[in-house]
Amino acid sequence: MAPALTTDKAGPAEIADREPAAVRIENVHKSFGRPGAAQPVLDDISLEVRPGEFVCLLGASGCGKSTLLNLVAGLDRPTAGTIDVPGGRPALMFQEHALFPWLTAGRNIELALRLRGVPRPERRPEAERLLELVRLSGAYGKRVHELSGGMRQRVALARALAQDSQVLLMDEPFAALDAITRDVLHHELTRIWSETSLSVLFVTHNVREAVRLAERVVLLSSRPGRVARQWAVDIPQPRRIEDAAVADLSVEITEELRGEIRRHGQH
Amino acid sequence: MASTETGPLSTSGGPHDLAGLEAGLDALETVEVRRTPFAQVLLHKVLPPLTAVVLVLAVWKLLVVAEVTDDYKLPDPSAVWHSLEDLWLRGTLLDIVWTSVSRGLLGFAAALVLGTPLGLLVARVKFVRAALGPVLSGLQSLPSVAWVPAAVIWLGITDAAMYAVILLGAVPSIANGLVSGIDQVPPLYLRAGRTMGATGLRGARHVLLPAALPGYIAGLKQGWAFSWRSLMAAELIASSPDLGLGLGQYLENARTDSDMPGVLLGIILILFVGIAIDLAVFSPLERRVLRTRGLAAANR
């Protein structure tokens, strides 16, 4: 099947008029450090994620992708601009699983349910259901250190889903996994995303991963981070990371990414 | 179900293929946690300290046989054993030990009640940390014997003086343990907690305190050692017939009677109680907390 893809130059205004956004980022600036000697990290970022959309944020190191995700998660505030998440606090998954080692896998999920206000008798069955969703039915009583890296990330995904947010933010969640495990988790994530109405904002530096997963890939430039270019990925799901269409678009995006990185060598 | 068979690791089939792959990965990478067999515990945990004790006794006996010094300075191990038997037969052994242990435990419990909120305050309130942090660390290096004269002048030779010395010794350890426990909580846990809505008190209860538990327990363990040490110092120096006879007083009495077997017995009993409480209470607690978190050193 030929890769049916469209590319368009960064233009947040083009998508703004259709539906209410799940995440709306408008003219966001972020600097770190003291006023006066502040280092700009994000420079005038505008970006929207539509409800149910899967967006990958792509960029080289230092482009502020994680910073942007922290801002959307509400863990930090922008220096200027606004971030609006109408559906309430988004769930966030990290590169490290961030599961609490003093709780079992099931209890980790139940804690998220409890903090969300789910009454006690409903927590256990809900946790079991979520574990089943990530295909870890037997893991309820397992301690975090008894699980493999891939299993930990699946429990972390279940815990994030337990928050019942409409938006799931993912900060390079599979970067520390081996290729085969990552491939399996890509499949699981796509499956769960298509079964729910989740909007996903997924940060990665892996171009193939971005093309494998996303409906839209947003390339950020580095230092300070700006939206450099966007691609709509029209390759039908289920995709494979080794699909020719995925490879073709990855080559194109990688070329662009290299160009962004080269620009820094010239200064 | 697979459409084309391209090899055992083919992922070209449907989701069934992947499910199988996933199950394989899970099985391959799961860490198996096994309990150590009893015989191995005996061999690695019980045998070495027993050997050490036997060696010490053997050297002691040898020195006595070789008559390196006078009998009243280095009595035969059997003389110490006779002192122990004597105490036991007179029915005072358990009284003496219990007097000290109950003082120690009560003092430790009080130190726990005072030290925990103090540690929380120092860890979480910047002003309090700046004001008290250095003092707390400094107090840890002050031998608690130094407090005995002050405590005696303030409170007389009373139980209250004993408890005061215990508190001054143990509270800083417990508070410091909690502070370092909280300081060492990975920021990632706090961020994860915040994204789930665990902020403020709920954050403290569900994330911060459980995450700080290993450091806190290390502080408790050290706090107990300090309590016990402080108490023995206090009992030795501030001994009076009005107070119940504890191990420290027993030791002091033996010294005034020039009863070397009694002195050695006193030292051995103090050591024994300190080790026994650590082994019976704090070590299992610590091991359990570390093991559930996968932090225990592999049973070495």
Chain B residues contacting A via beta carbons under 8 Å: 9, 11-12, 15, 18-19, 21-22, 25-26, 28-31, 33, 188-189, 191-192, 194-198, 202, 206-207, 210-211, 213, 289, 292-295
Closest of B104, B143, B93 to residue B269, by C-alpha? B93
Residue B17 domain-assigned (yes or no): no
- Per-residue pLDDT tens digits for A31-66: 887 777 777 888 888 888 899 899 999 887 767 888
- Mark yes or no for CB contact B211/A145 under 8 Å: no
Give CA B34 to chain center in angstroms. 26
- Is A135 in CB contact (< 8 Å) with chain B? yes
Residue A219, strand partner residues: A58, A229
If you average pLDDT over residues A136-143, what whole number do you get?
Answer: 88
As a whole-number percent, the residues of chain A with pLDDT over 70 amount to: 91
ipTM attached to this prediction: 0.82
End-to-end CA distance of chain A: 42
Alpha carbon of B102: minimum distance to chain A alpha carbons (Å): 32
CATH number of the domain enclosing B161: 1.10.3720.10
Q: Cβ(A15)–Cβ(A8) under 8 Å?
A: no
- Mark yes or no for CB contact B191/A98 under 8 Å: yes
- Mark yes or no for CB contact B196/A183 under 8 Å: no
Signed CA dihedral, B116, B119, B125, B127: sign only: positive
DSSP state of B146: G
- Is A101 in CB contact (< 8 Å) with chain B? yes
Distance of alpha carbon B98 from alpha carbon B273, whole angstroms = 10
- Is A240 in CB contact (< 8 Å) with chain B? yes
Token pair belonging to B78:
């059997």
Q: Which helix (H) or strand (E) holds B155?
A: helix B147-155
Indicate the residue type of B26: D
Token pair belonging to B116:
């925990």
Residue B12 domain-assigned (yes or no): no
| Structural domains of chain A, ranges and CATH numbers in brackets | 49-77+166-232+240-256 (3.40.50.300), 99-164 (no CATH)
- pLDDT of A5: 44
| Residue in B28, B195, B292 nearest the CB of A91 | B195
Cβ neighbours of A91 in B, within 8 Å: 195-196
Give CA A176 to chain center in angstroms. 15
pLDDT tens for chain B, 300 residues: list them.
333 333 334 444 454 567 778 777 777 776 666 677 788 887 888 888 899 999 999 999 999 888 888 888 888 889 999 999 998 998 888 999 999 999 999 999 999 999 999 998 998 888 988 888 888 888 888 888 888 888 889 988 888 889 999 999 899 999 999 999 999 999 999 989 988 888 888 888 899 989 999 889 988 998 999 899 889 988 888 877 777 888 998 999 999 998 899 999 999 999 999 889 988 998 899 888 888 888 765 443
- Mark yes or no for CB contact A149/B29 under 8 Å: yes
If you average pLDDT over residues A105-121, what whole number do you get?
Answer: 92
- Non-local (6+) Cβ contacts of A157 within 8 A are A93, A134, A173, A188, A189, A192
- Mark yes or no for CB contact B294/A151 under 8 Å: no
- Mark yes or no for CB contact B207/A100 under 8 Å: yes
Q: How many CA atoms lie within 13 A of B211 on its CB side?
A: 21
Q: In the predicted model, what is the mean pLDDT of chain A?
A: 84
Cβ neighbours of B188 in A, within 8 Å: 94, 96, 98
| Domain count across chain B | 1
Distance of alpha carbon A81 from alpha carbon A89, whole angstroms = 18
Q: Tally Cβ neighbours within 10 Å of residue B131.
A: 12
Residue B246 domain-assigned (yes or no): yes
Expressed as residue numbers, the domain containing B112 is 91-292
- Non-local (6+) Cβ contacts of A130 within 8 A are A109, A158, A159, A161, A162
